[in-house]
Amino acid sequence: MNDMANPGYSAVYEAQGTDRAGLGGHDAVSNASQPMGVVLEISGAGGLIALDLQRLAECGADVDPSIAQSGLVGSQIRIMAGSNCLLASIRDQKQGRRADEGIIATVDFLGEGAVDPQTGALTSFRRGVTQYPLPGALAYPAGTGDLRRIYSGDGRAVVNVGKVHPTTTIRASLYIDSLLGKHFALLGSTGTGKSTALALILHRICELAPQGHILMIDPHGEYASAFRHTGLILDVSNLQLPYWLMNFEEHCEILLSSQGDNRQVDAEILGKCLLAARQKNRLAEALGGRITVDSPVPYLISDLQAILHNEMGKLEKATTTAPYVRLKSRIDELRGDPRFNFLFSGMLVGDTMVDVLSRMFRLPSAGQPIAIIDVSGVPSEVTSTVVALLSRLVFDFSIWAREEDTRPILLVCEEAHRYVPNEKNADGSSVGRILSRIAKEGRKYGVSLGLVTQRPSDLAEGVLSQCGTILSMRLNNERDQAFVRAAMPEGARGFLDSIPALRNRECIICGEGVAIPMRVSFDDLEEAKRPASSDPSFSQLWRQSGDDHQMVMRTVQRWRTQGR
């Protein structure tokens, strides 16, 4: 832009004693100390900046990659506001109304700090703005040194997961207490590296906190290979989840097959008989009978069946026995189905609650701070109920353990949109209610929630809004992009616009878990620590032949035995 078109622009430079002819040259002071633009307009969350084309070219040739990127969309610049220095992110740009007016950029304010009078460096950075600049204030490039001081953290515990774009040396740090204490969501379309990114974050957390307590629900069996050395892997072959740990609502989801008015009748009968079965246990007597239908007191399935039979025998009209027949038939069906052995095995009748919880929640961790619950082998009709049971156990345990020394638990849920769907797709299942409750109340009791999904627009909006940190990888669907954009804080809007343009293994992170919004390129993860989620290579696999018939035979055998 020329000074005739912007008369105030030259005056500002002259007031600073700056010779524009020598800006950025090797004979002059560094580009970082020279202004590259001037503030035209200010609002509560950002403003408009006029950027000088000559200065953009000079900064673009700087050896510092951060300065070289300054002035481009997604980059950061510094703006003087009295004694403070604001850091702002460039959201978008446009050419001035005339070709000689330079570039007009919209910026979002990220935070502010002080300027060291000796070195000119940005120090004591903090999020938020207390003193706004006035129109006419100068804008400067943000150098790698400034950004390193901001991104490196403020002394709180962090895990490093990658490099901050566009630098090659600044580490991207996540504040572990804020990340977990206020929940997080990892979003990204299929094929963007979401599973590997999650594995990387969890590995780094385990390295930082080897005595941690992490429970991850894995719906596809992807993560067993990633944590086989550092975690406990539980699936239908060794899960041993006692049926009597289910509350009444979960019992209804598994045992009731009727609908409408019949379902209400069946539920009333089941509740009455279930309570009677729990009361037959000696543990109930030791508790003085102060138990409810939801109390996790062991009972025998045979006792429940006997009580149903006795209650049915008291009836006078044969037509009223239908609810009892339905319940008895369903129980017989589940007990005879080998797919449900992890839930209804006779070995699970004893009072093993302490052992089950200690093993699942890693108390003690015994060098394996994470438990992977592989539910890929769980029958699809009860998967949601099993996830609900696991989630509720985490929440209820934390509620009743609040008088003890706190043992925070991180619950990570893959394919979260399947379990906490939006209102349009809601089916009224218990898993949606318990995960929603954890999102709203879990932090009070030391329960952290990590939600992972490829379809954020199908996720309950209220749940995503409870996530203090959002990590968004590339999203291809416009509806997903709009949904995430609405959930992000205002200061991150410039970063959000780049979500469709992210490469694989790149991510926009904003919220409580980071100092300021950042674009991150994730670290490479060792092959042995990656989940089994890589895409097959058609070009290679379709060139191979041999052993096909035997492969089909083995597959059919596993298919028929359901993997057993």
- Which range is most confident: 8-12, 234-238, 280-284, 446-450? 446-450
Helix axes 383-400, 430-441, angle to 10 degrees: 30
pLDDT on residue 12: 40
Tokens 């385990």, located at residue: 206
Least confident of 117-126, 351-360, 429-438: 117-126
**The dihedral sign for the CA sequence 434, 438, 440, 445:** positive
pLDDT at 558 over 80: no
What is the rounded average pLDDT of the residues 3-11?
40
Question: What is the per-residue burial (b if ≥16 Cβ within 10 Å, else e) of 54-80?
Answer: bbbebbeebebbbbbbbbbbbbbbbbb
pLDDT at 125 over 90: no
Residue 491 confidence class, pLDDT cut points 50, 70, 90: low
Tokens 């300021």, located at residue: 516
Max CA pair span of the chain:
105
Please report, rounded to a whole number, the percentage of residues in the chain having pLDDT higher than 90: 53
What is the rounded average pLDDT of the residues 308-315?
86
pLDDT on residue 562: 62
Q: CA 355 from chain center: how many Å?
A: 29
- DSSP string for residues in 389-453: HHHHHHHHHHHHTTTSS---EEEEESSHHHHSB-TTT----HHHHHHHHHHHHGGGGTEEEEEEE
Beta strands in 36-143 (DSSP E): 37-42, 46-51, 76-81, 84-95, 103-115, 122-127, 138-141
pLDDT at 467 over 90: yes
Residue 15 confidence class, pLDDT cut points 50, 70, 90: very low
pLDDT at 471 over 80: yes
List, in order of start, the domains of the chain with CATH numbers. Answer: 31-150 (no CATH), 171-242+345-526 (3.40.50.300), 248-337 (no CATH)
For 74, list phi and psi in degrees, rounded to 5: 90, -10
pLDDT at 66 over 90: no
Please report, rounded to a whole number, the percentage of residues in the chain having pLDDT higher than 70: 91
Least confident of 89-103, 163-177, 242-256, 319-333: 89-103
Distance CA 498, CA 219 (A): 30
Residue 392 confidence class, pLDDT cut points 50, 70, 90: very high
What is the rounded average pLDDT of the residues 434-439?
95
pLDDT on residue 160: 94
pLDDT on residue 429: 86
Least confident of 12-21, 200-209, 257-266: 12-21
Distance CA 494, CA 508 (A): 10
Least confident of 71-80, 92-101, 181-190, 248-257: 92-101
Distance CA 183, CA 172 (A): 19
pTM attached to this predicted model: 0.87
pLDDT on residue 547: 81
What is the rounded average pLDDT of the residues 216-231?
93
pLDDT at 374 over 80: yes
pLDDT on residue 7: 38
